[in-house]
């Protein structure tokens, strides 16, 4: 599973935090508002009930109480409902048979004891408040006040507060997203610098002053780049030193052997054979030193320049006594590629030498475009081909195939194809081997970034 990114995590944390905070605030304010409104409404209802109770009390106090008349004169409006309990009978302004059932038994008992009281109830038409006030004698006056309006107001308030909480959470997520983008911006600079170094620009450095909070990272990056540059320089110097140390004695050997070789006719047979051996080994030793140095330097950055590859390829062929017409350019291939001229040339030379040594000579050298700025180079031969199981190892160091032309002196160093692989990798490409249709091997090297 793909790990969740830093930005997503920070944004989620911001959102959850904002949601928690806004939910708490909403809940608390909802409760406060609800209680305040209810208390206010109750006080008003009780006050109105007392006024009404006084009026009704006066109306029913006489010896012949005019109950209906006393209730009728009350100005109750639509949301108040008046009940009178007198001598075991329920009276209301409308002839409602079960009017008394709306009053809870507990409240009736309270009034029975002569105490006033109020209680919230739930009716079919919504929540309501019952206010009970004992009148003179055993009479009790009840007023049922509908709280539906207030309830609706509170419901609306709850919806609004929930919506606000969700919006605040979304806002938190957005802030998190924005803040992380801003916070991560210096890191993209670091990433770009790292890419630059990887691509071979060893002079890339970060300025620790531009982002004080990331100064540690900048310093560490610069130290790393410094060390890398020093190491590469040390490697380069080492290769140069080794080259000098090995090449000087080889020069003496080469010149001295040529002096003796020129006089081999005056030597006896055994000495002449020995001189022949020395001469052959000196030249092999030279190739080995060259290849080892090349391999040691293969991880150095490439120096790309526009290169007329077809002409270069023909030159490599003619230098080996092969016809330049071996080189085929696939139609539509750009004429100049951005490659390291020297390493491209050596790649081609090694592949052709490989074909000569193990494949009976190249029969085609093909140059073509592979799309996406990539170009390829193929060398075909008509030899025995490379068996599937040997293919992965063939680009390793000191791996040699059975030489097709069994002349020992032509034996390679076993480094040619690893150098090819190294050069291909330096160009962000790769070297592969497959079958040529019709028999033989087809070596293919793909190089990236050849066409801008």
Partner 1 sequence: MTAVLLIEDDDRIRLSLSMALEDEGYTAYTAATAEEGLAEQRRRPADTVLVDLMLPGMDGFECIRQLRRDTEVPIIVISARDDTHDIVAALEAGADDYVIKPVAVKELAARLRALRRRSRVAAAAATAPAATVLTFGDLQVSPDAGEVRLNGAPVAVTRTEFRLLCELAAHPGLVLSRQQLLQRVWGYEFGDERVVDVHVGRLRHKIETDNSKPRHLVTVRGLGYKLQP
Provide the binding-site residues for partner 1, judged by CB under 8 A.
236, 240, 243-244, 247-256, 258-259, 262, 282-283, 286, 293, 303, 305-308, 311-312, 315-316, 318-319, 335-337, 341
Q: Considering the complex, state which of residue 218 and residue 307 has its C-beta at the smaller distance from partner 1.
A: 307
| Six-digit token string for 122 | 């739930």
Please check whether residue 362 is in contact with residue 381, taking contact to mean a CB–CB distance below 8 angstroms. Answer: yes
Q: Give the nearest distance from C-beta 413 to partner 1 in angstroms.
A: 15
Neighbours of 300 (CB within 10 A): 16
DSSP states of 389-429 as a string?
GGTGGGGSTT--PPPSS--GGG---S-HHHHHHHHHHHTT-
To the nearest 10 degrees (0 to 180), the angle between helices 416-426 and 269-296 is 20
- Residue 16 or 293 with smaller CB distance to partner 1: 293
Q: How far is the CB of 440 from partner 1 (least distance, A)?
A: 26
- Report the residue number, 150 or 349, with the smaller CB distance to partner 1: 349
Q: Which residue has the tokens 């090449």?
A: 247
Minimum CB separation from partner 1 for residue 295, in Å? 14
Q: Which lies closer to partner 1 via its Cβ, residue 196 or residue 315? A: 315
Q: Which is nearer to partner 1, 135 or 317 (CB)?
A: 317
Q: DSSP strand E in 40-188: where?
A: 80-86, 89-92, 117-123, 126-134, 140-146
52 versus 353: smaller Cβ distance to partner 1: 353
Size (the chain), residues: 452
Q: How far is the CB of 10 from partner 1 (least distance, A)?
A: 49
The residue among 26 and 346 lying less far from partner 1, judged by its C-beta, is: 346
Q: Provide the minimum distance between the beta carbon of 278 and partner 1 in the complex, in angstroms, as a whole number.
A: 13
Which residue reads 């004429």 in tokens?
335
Q: How far is the CB of 312 from partner 1 (least distance, A)?
A: 8
Q: Give backbone dihedrals phi and psi of 320, rounded to 5 degrees, phi first.
A: -105, 15
**Closest separation in Å from C-beta 314 to partner 1:** 9
Q: How far is CA 131 from CA 82, 147, 232, in A?
A: 10, 13, 95
Kindly tell me the sign of the dihedral angle through the C-alpha atoms of 16, 19, 25, 28. negative
Strand partners, 81: 144
């Amino acid at each position: 599973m793909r790990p969740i990114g830093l930005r997503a995590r920070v944004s989620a944390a911001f959102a959850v935090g904002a949601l928690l905070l806004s939910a708490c605030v909403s809940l608390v304010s909802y409760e406060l508002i609800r209680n305040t409104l209810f208390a206010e409404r109750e006080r008003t209802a009780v006050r109105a009930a007392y006024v009404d109770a006084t009026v009704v009390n006066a109306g029913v106090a006489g010896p012949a109480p005019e109950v209906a008349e006393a209730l009728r004169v009350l100005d109750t409006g639509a949301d108040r409902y008046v009940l009178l309990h007198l001598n075991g009978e329920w009276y209301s302004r409308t002839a409602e048979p079960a009017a008394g059932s709306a009053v809870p038994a507990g409240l009736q008992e309270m009034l029975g004891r002569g105490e006033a009281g109020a209680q919230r109830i739930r009716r079919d038409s919504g929540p309501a408040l019952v206010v009970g006030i004992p009148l003179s004698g055993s009479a009790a006056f009840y007023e049922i006040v509908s709280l539906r309006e207030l309830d609706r107001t509170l419901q609306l308030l709850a919806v609004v507060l929930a919506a606000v909480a969700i919006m605040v959470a979304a806002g938190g997520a957005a802030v998190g997203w924005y803040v992380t983008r801003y916070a991560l911006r210096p890191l993209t600079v670091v990433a770009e610098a790292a890419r630059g170094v990887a691509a071979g620009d060893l002079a890339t450095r970060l300025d620790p002053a531009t982002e004080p909070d990331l100064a540690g990272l900048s310093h560490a990056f610069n130290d790393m780049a410094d060390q890398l540059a020093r190491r590469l320089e040390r490697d380069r110097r080492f290769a140069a030193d080794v080259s000098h140390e090995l090449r000087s004695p080889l020069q003496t050997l080469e010149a001295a052997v040529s002096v003796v070789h020129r006089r081999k006719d005056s030597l006896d047979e055994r000495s002449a054979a020995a001189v022949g051996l020395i001469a052959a080994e000196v030249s092999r030793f030279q190739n080995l030193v060259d290849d080892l140095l090349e391999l040691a330097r293969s991880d150095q950055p490439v120096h790309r320049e526009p290169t007329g590859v077809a002409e270069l390829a023909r030159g490599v062929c003619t230098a080996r006594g092969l016809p330049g017409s071996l080189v085929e350019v696939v139609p539509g291939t750009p004429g100049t590629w951005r490659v390291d001229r020297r390493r491209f040339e050596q790649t081609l030379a090694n592949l052709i030498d490989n074909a000569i040594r193990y494949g009976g000579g190249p029969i085609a050298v093909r140059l073509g475009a592979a799309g996406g700025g990539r170009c390829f180079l193929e060398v075909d031969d008509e030899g025995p081909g490379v068996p599937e199981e040997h293919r992965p190892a063939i680009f390793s160091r000191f791996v040699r195939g059975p030489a097709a032309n069994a002349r020992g002196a032509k034996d390679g160093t076993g480094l040619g194809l690893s150098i090819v692989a190294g050069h291909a990798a330096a160009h962000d490409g790769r070297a592969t081997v497959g079958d040529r249709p019709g028999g033989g091997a087809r070596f293919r090297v793909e190089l990236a970034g050849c066409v801008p």
